[in-house]
Structure 1
């Protein structure tokens, strides 16, 4: 009897810590190759925007991304001729933040090719749209004490 109760408690703990059905579906949809087509922001004017502490906005537009959800890893390569187009690696997680709106937190941590982070620094981004063909990330930062929202629009290849 003790063994059955222990087993039931163990199963309950395992299933309560797992991903939600929506998160698993999101990982299936995100799997594959994507192109970051456009980076926009909510403020008028020209800004020198650096994404992921890596390169400027122009380098990221047209960049190629690959997501491998079975091990929560991926990579991207910048595309502009004036940018370092070496492959970059990352790990990611998707967490549903509000089941009624369908919004997710997307956590991305740059790593080396062996999935080890040199800085242990990551980025929290809202995954505001995800379909079989399109994805949008939204990140809000502070500029002069005011919110500054970046939108990154992807299409699936």
Structure 2
């Protein structure tokens, strides 16, 4: 009886420490190359938004992204005219927030090419949509003391 109880306790610990199945599946889907097609907002108007403490949202539109889930790293490339062009490195994590809704938190931390962060600052977004061809992140910030949502819409680039 004692061995059975220990086996159950040990099994529950091992199972609780693993990556949830949905998160593992999401990592398989996110793997590869993506294009950030456009950025939209929850409010109408013209906004000068700096994304990821890097460049404006206009420069982010049309950027190319690569996700490497086996080591949770990636690169995005800014290539817009009148933008600070080039590769940017990051590490990321996908965390399941609510199994019932299927919503995830997507955590992204800019790094250097050796995956080291200079300021340990990261960004939390909701991964609200992920399929084999499209992905959407929603970042909620505050504008005039009200929630303001920034929607980043991606499409998968066939390799």
- TM-score class normalised by the smaller sequence: over 0.9
Partner of 1:103: 103
Q: How many residues align structurally?
A: 157
Question: Which residue of 2 is the match for residue 143 of structure 1?
Answer: 143
1:45 aligns to what SS in structure 2?
coil
Pair 1:72 & 2:72 matched: yes
Q: 2:94 touches 2:105 (CA, 8 Å); kept in 1?
A: yes
* Structure 1 stretches lacking a partner, 5+ long: none
Q: 1 CA distance for matches of 2:8 and 2:21?
A: 21
1:17–1:40: structure 2 CA closer, same or farther, 3 Å change rule? same
Q: What is the aligned partner in structure 2 of residue 25 from structure 1?
A: 25
**TM-aligned CA deviation for residue 12 of structure 1:** 3.6
8 Å Cα contact 2:79-2:86 kept in structure 1: no
Kindly report which structure 2 residues correspond to 1:56-67, keeping only aligned pairs within 5 A, or say none: 56-67=56-67
Q: Deviation at 1:7? A: 7.2
* Cα shift readout 1:83-119 (whole Å, capped 9, x = no counterpart): 1222100000101111111110000011111111111
Give the secondary-structure state (helix, strand or coil) at the position aligned to 2:117.
coil
Checking the alignment, whether the CA contact within 8 Å between 1:137 and 1:152 is kept in structure 2 is yes
Contact 1:33 1:156 in 2 (8 A): yes
SS in 1 for 2:136: strand
Distance 1:156 1:145, change over 3 A: same
* 8 A Cα contact 1:61 1:79, kept in partner: no
Partner of 2:114, secondary structure, is coil
- In 1, distance between residues paired with 2:3 and 2:118? 44
- Following TM superposition, the consecutive aligned residue runs of length 4 or more in structure 1 with deviations greater than 3 angstroms are 2-12
Counterpart in 2 of 1:115? 115
Over the aligned positions, Cα root-mean-square deviation in angstroms equals 1.7
Distance 1:131 1:146 in 2: 30
Structure 2 segments unaligned to the other structure (5+ residues):
none
Contact in 2 for aligned 1:77/1:85 (Cα 8 Å): yes
